[in-house]
Amino acid sequence: MADQVIQRVFTGGEIAPALHARADTNTYQSGLALCQNFFVRSQGGAYSRQGTKYIAAQGDSTKRGRLIPFSFNTTQTYVLVFEENKIRIIRDGGYVLTGFTPYEVTTTYTEAQLSRLIFTQDADVMTISHPDHDPKYLSRIAHDNWTLANVNFAGTVAIPGTVVIGTVGTASGAANKDYSYIVTAIVDGKESLPSAMVTHNINALAVTYGSRVSWAAVTDAEYYRVYRDPSDGTGIYAWIGDTETLAFEDFNVLPDTSDGPPSDYLPFATADNKPSTVGYYQQRQIFANTTNEAQKVFATQSGDYDSMRFSRPLRANDSIFATLKATKVNEIRHVVGLDALFLLTSGAEWIVTEGQDQVLTPGSVGFRPYSYWGSSWTAPALAGDSVIFVQEKGTRIRDLFKEVNAASYQGNDLSVMAQHLFDGHEILEMTYAQEPYGILWCIRDDGVLLGMTYQKEHGIWGWHQHVTDGTYESVTSISEDGRDAVYVIVNRTIEGV
């Protein structure tokens, strides 16, 4: 007669057959040979998984779709159902309707491109990147009013026009000299490109004799900045003053050569130069990895997500362009911002260094390797202060975190104790549902839904697998009614269809 064993805890979840004889390990003591359509909780128990509620069918069920979360805050949340060339919107467990039909946003993304969409969000605006498309803003105006448009890096602040130059005061009789000026406008804290240059040849400026530059008003301008060529014909300009009026008088103001006007830069304007990934960090929108420059990072100006402009000399808030130099050309696949900016590449994990002030600027940016595992294109999940990512081959899942009071980052192979669930398969999608059970949900390439109960601070990660009548194709989670609701796309054959 077999011995009866009392097992008081199941936090290890389903463990690999290779561990079934390892009674000496803690994993064996808390593990299960099979955990199917059950899930484990951090307190130790194993519970039957609830069923799912039918929401609606896709617009075209013959093609694979993708679910992407959209969260303005914890109470205004949506699930975006991306299908070929369109998006449908789910809110509060049902499609947003226009009349009696689901509201749709037209896109140019094909079915094959959906898996490579990378997204990030700022309030009502989601940025979407794909290497074959211009980066786009998906903007929510109302529940049933959304727009999708290319990101405009050219700027929207009008350039001061009708710039006129003259003199004021009494000439000194000194030798003549050329003086050249340009003007910019400031609207909502954003600076325009400079006006057309104006120049005149006059007596040398003095405290009693100056240049007078005037221009036409720019709508909603808060003030204007005036720059002068500090020499003669250099094409480089330096700041000489600000004004809230439409004119500036220069009585030989000493140009500040450390402060120059902005110059335009449009890095994504041509084919093969579209960014593959995007994120946010320190008030900058971070893009990376074009077809032509797979290891290059592009950061917008600080506080201006639509501007790639820079000045000469560089200002601390200017845009940043930097190339990660390594022994291998491993493309940047994900940009993740925690207390540091991480670049997950196909061959390694890098930390973007910021100098001793821990502020990312054009003069402080650098790169330091953390580890050499590599990341797949599957979007990482954030769980508290941890990043959970799929390794490059798609068959292992790791976390990355910083221990309290530790100087370096740590990480674990989260799939090693249940490797049988991953061998011969790839993980295609992930989402972390924090409440109520702290579960990472994963779509496997054969349509099985894997779950991992994850509580890093307690050293808990236990796997469970979930099957249904059909195959799981996509998963996401959003906050609803005080907990994280998990949405899935399931491909089922019903009555032969």
- Using a pLDDT cut of 70, give the percent of the chain over it: 98
List of long-range contacts for 312-316, beta carbons under 8 Å, 24+ apart: 312/236, 312/260, 312/263, 313/257, 313/258, 313/260, 314/362, 314/363, 315/259, 315/362, 316/359, 316/361, 316/362, 316/363
pLDDT at 289: 97
Confidence of residue 1 (pLDDT cuts 50, 70, 90): low
User: Does residue 213 contact residue 195 with C-beta atoms inside 8 Å?
Assistant: no
CB atoms near residue 429 (< 10 Å): 24
* pLDDT, tens digit (0-9, with 9 covering 90-100), for 261-276: 999 999 999 999 999 9
CB atoms near residue 104 (< 10 Å): 18
Given a cut of 80, whether residue 183 has pLDDT beyond it is yes
pLDDT at 497: 59
Query: What is the spatial distance between Cα 114 and Cα 84, in angstroms, rounded to a whole number?
Result: 8
Query: What is the spatial distance between Cα 306 and Cα 296, in angstroms, rounded to a whole number?
Result: 18
Judging by DSSP bridges, how do beta strands 190-191 and 176-187 pair with one another? antiparallel
Confidence of residue 31 (pLDDT cuts 50, 70, 90): confident
Which of these ranges, 9-18, 130-139, 398-407, 448-457, has the smallest mean pLDDT? Answer: 398-407
Given a cut of 70, whether residue 406 has pLDDT beyond it is no
pLDDT at 173: 74
* pLDDT, tens digit (0-9, with 9 covering 90-100), for 412-462: 899 999 999 999 999 999 999 999 999 999 999 999 999 999 988 888 889
For residue 322, the cross-strand partners are 297
User: Does residue 454 contact residue 460 with C-beta atoms inside 8 Å?
Assistant: yes
* pLDDT, tens digit (0-9, with 9 covering 90-100), for 283-304: 999 999 999 999 999 999 998 8
pLDDT at 3: 67
Query: What is the spatial distance between Cα 18 and Cα 33, in angstroms, rounded to a whole number?
Result: 10
| Phi, then psi, of 112 in degrees rounded to 5 | -65, -25
| pLDDT, mean of residues 347-363 | 89
